[in-house]
Amino acid sequence: MAADWIAVLDEDGRISSAQRIDSPNFDERPDGCGVDLIVIHAISLPPDQFGGPGVEQLFTNRLDPAEHPYYASIAQLRVSAHFFLRRDGSLLQFVPTTMRAWHAGVSSWRGRERCNDFSIGIELEGSDSVPFRAEQYDRLAGLLKRIRERHLHADICAHSDIAPGRKTDPGPCFEWARLRALLACA
């Protein structure tokens, strides 16, 4: 696994090799709240379609509800994630890891509510019905390695783990064993 492309996670919580697109959908973490969790998500906009600008538009409050029928139901949402990993492995960063992104919604991890307070959200371009690509696993493993260099004890979980019954992502096509193997090689 080549994690060198990730470069460095700087003091401000930015990955130097990521394309920076600032989302307005974030705020300060509560006092004394560090990063204890990394949440893996999957998203595609429109659903099951890849490569378009929909996710960027959603995370920057520019999604046009007239562009696709599904968009009318979500255009008013104010959401974000720290990172978005496209199908080709390219990485976008919307929120510094030092800040609280709005990715988890109503959530709980090991008895702690409000997972946004203490987590980093990574969205993979994907869905419940399509396998993820090798480039995504490789880049995800490299990104997780960099994040865990700073946050040594951060758990890694699925969005479905912190919001069971409400969320299914990253879904049944996500290969956790493959990710664990890549992380073990890091």
Q: What is the pLDDT of residues 134-175, one digit of tens each?
A: 999 999 999 999 999 999 889 999 999 999 999 999 999 999
The catalytic residue among 28, 67, 113, 123 is 123
| Burial degree of 70 (CB within 10 A; 0-12, 13-18, 19+) | middle
Confidence (pLDDT) at 186 = 63
Q: Is the predicted pLDDT of residue 120 greater than 80, yes or no?
A: yes
The tokens for 90 are: 């390219």
Q: Which amino acid is residue 71, in one-letter code?
A: Y
Confidence (pLDDT) at 4 = 52
pTM recorded for the entire structure: 0.96
| Domain range list for the chain | 16-185
- The pairing of beta strand 26-27 with beta strand 100-101: antiparallel
For residue range 61-75, list pLDDT tens digits in order. Answer: 999 999 999 999 999
Q: Out of 3.40.50.410, 3.40.80.10, 3.40.50.2020, 1.20.1250.20, which CATH number does the structure's domain 16-185 have?
A: 3.40.80.10
| Burial degree of 32 (CB within 10 A; 0-12, 13-18, 19+) | exposed
- Give the lowest-confidence range in 107-111, 134-138, 181-185: 181-185
Let me know if 123 is a catalytic residue. Answer: yes
62: Cα within 13 Å, side-chain hemisphere: 10
Which residue matches tokens 């969005």?
159
The number of angstroms, rounded, from the C-alpha of 74 to the middle of its chain's C-alpha atoms is 18
Confidence (pLDDT) at 80 = 98
Q: Is the predicted pLDDT of residue 1 greater than 50, yes or no?
A: no
